[in-house]
A and B are shown apart, each in its own frame.
Chain A
Amino acid sequence: MNRRSVLASVWMASSLSLMVLAILEISFPSTFSLAFRLESLLPYRMQIGIGEVFLSALFLWPAWRMDPDLSGRILETAARLGIGGMFILASWFKIQNPQGFALLVAQYQFLPQGAVNLFALFMPQLELWTGLAIILTRWNREMALLLSAMFIAFIVALAQAVWRDLGITCGCFEIEGALSKRDAWISLVRDLILVWPTLWLATRPNRSLIGIWTKRPAP
């Protein structure tokens, strides 16, 4: 590994750490966000998280300039593990409690009443198996497209909820909260950020996670 590759790795590690921190701050502000703790000084609690996303994207540039091949491999590995892992995590509680998840889905007032329960049964399974498949199989492009389609569906559903001022909670990672009616726009911002790396993954060739590091790129 030459000096440029080492430097590119350092930039990539910084960028990915910032991105993880940003997503945690945006998703779980009461646990992770510095801005949330200093709410009297920084009343808009997502600003630090969004700033970190921009900084993270900025850090990708020098890494890409120094070693585009290595940077692409690191980013692909991290995106597949991170996004796949997130979908697995998000699906787990919904699979255990379809009734609780259906209640959250109904609050979106987006689907016909007769389709709510079927959707609440089907969607978590699709999240779980697509998340597992993008990590464990070589079908990267197909799974990334499925995940992108799910993200776009979530964005449309959340955007209409924000637009109609339904005041609902996302229901992305926990069942509790259908009655507490927390902000859906936090989830909307997070999904608007995460759809881009997922769409980028769909442009990468089909290969396993190990294959990313063992196969040479096509000339």
Chain B
Amino acid sequence: MKSLNLKILLIVVGASAVLAILNNFRVPQQNRVSWFGGQPVFSAPAKDQP
């Protein structure tokens, strides 16, 4: 752990966060999500469904 380059880890995680925000503006309107929302949860399938 001591020899790990934490700066690189932070850069990748930080860049991913920034690009995630930008991506939500880039994609078509119907594919966008609200920033702090959730999604509906469907009911579980019946046991005998393949």
Which residues of chain A have a CB within 8 Å of any CB of chain B? 95-100, 102-103, 105-107, 109, 112-118, 120-122, 124-126, 128-130, 133, 139, 141-143, 145-146, 165-167, 178-179, 181, 206
B-side contacts of A112, CB under 8 Å: 38
Contact A97 B27 (CB under 8 A): yes
B-side contacts of A106, CB under 8 Å: 38-41
Cα A47 to Cα B24 with chains together (Å): 41
| Given known A-B contacts A125-B16, A126-B16, A143-B12, A118 and B36 have beta carbons under 8 A apart | yes
Which of the four size classes fits the interface of chain B?
Answer: 20 to 34
Q: List 30 A-B contacts (CB under 8 A).
A: A97-B27, A98-B24, A98-B27, A99-B39, A102-B39, A106-B41, A107-B41, A113-B37, A114-B36, A114-B38, A117-B33, A117-B36, A117-B37, A117-B39, A118-B36, A120-B33, A121-B21, A121-B33, A125-B15, A125-B16, A125-B20, A125-B23, A126-B12, A126-B16, A130-B12, A142-B8, A142-B9, A142-B12, A167-B49, A178-B42
B-side contacts of A145, CB under 8 Å: 4, 9
Q: In chain B, what residue has the closest Cβ to A120?
A: B33
| Given known A-B contacts A106-B39, A122-B20, A146 and B12 have beta carbons under 8 A apart | yes
